[in-house]
Amino acid sequence: MLIEDGQVRAARLVRLRGLRAGLVADAILTSRAAGARRGTVRLASGEEALVDGLPREASEGAPVRVQVVRAAIAEQGRYKLPHARVTRAGCRPAPTLAEELADSGIPVRTVRRFPHDPWPEIAAEALDGSISFPGGSLLISATPAMTLIDIDGTLPPARLALTAVPVVAETIRRLDLSGSIGIDFPTCEGREDRRAVDEAMEHALADWPHQRTAMNGFGFVQLVARLEHPSILAEVQRNPSAAGAQLLLRRAEDITTPGALLLTAHPRVIAGIGDEWRQELERRTGRRTIWKADPALALLGGFAQAIEP
């Protein structure tokens, strides 16, 4: 998380599961159409990935060394396998998030907790997909084709579009959006108005690597950025009960009052917390835990409290 002047300027969430970008490992080619450069491989972990750049002589069952370039992405109704490419590099694990950021030249400091923990607010923002600003709002949704940002409000169209530009740029960084992003601005009739929005977008996203189309006559702009992992928006919207479970565990760990821990949450959230996580919470806190399901609570509304043993 990048925090400046007490504000979250950018965030990234990496799950410690599945194949992650940067991993180099040996695999077995499990399927390939005749003459195709692409196919499917299975790694030693049993996980599969789509692979590109296959040599002509590689046949099904042959060993190949691959580098993962994109993690798996779960979408509504389907699951996209990780992407990999054939490589001759030495085997290595995927870099940690701190290593990945440090390699890009960003100074990194690892902390146990962020000040005034902003994760609950970010998760709620991602789940709701709605962000308000003076005179308008953004509605963000993750679709199989792209992430869509719709802009609506009461300001005149040209003014609304310009007012929304910095909010869009901040949201892209804060929710770690990437891949194909479509932005539906209000329709700006004048060419000069559209040019002003294009220039504002160029300035607001100057330090964010991407390609961008100019605004068309209907107010639509498309951004394309390298996609290596699911965004925070996609992770939370795909599985909100898991996000609620993780927030609940964080809240429980922060309790300092003596006593056993009572954790209260929606039944779906409670069901998503397996024995391994429960045992880890008790190990970290040194406390007995009691779990209470309350269907009236929102998925992200779970809470923890200390009670008499």
Residue 10's H or E segment, with its range, is strand 7-10
Q: How far apart are CA 166 and CA 206, in angstroms?
A: 12
Among 65, 224, 229, residue whose Cα is nearest residue 145: 224
Among 140, 138, 129, 142, residue whose Cα is nearest residue 186: 138
Cβ–Cβ under 8 Å, residues 165 and 204: yes
Q: How far apart are CA 238 and CA 160, in angstroms?
A: 30
What does pTM read for this prediction? 0.85
pLDDT tens for the 309 residues of the chain, in order: 998 888 899 999 888 778 999 999 999 999 988 778 899 999 999 999 999 999 888 888 999 999 999 998 876 667 789 999 999 999 999 999 999 889 888 889 998 888 788 999 999 999 999 999 999 999 998 888 899 999 999 999 999 999 999 999 999 999 999 999 999 999 988 899 999 999 999 999 998 999 999 999 899 999 999 998 889 998 898 889 999 999 999 999 989 899 999 999 999 999 989 999 999 999 999 999 999 999 999 999 999 999 976
Residue 224's H or E segment, with its range, is strand 220-225
Among 67, 12, 3, residue whose Cα is nearest residue 178: 12
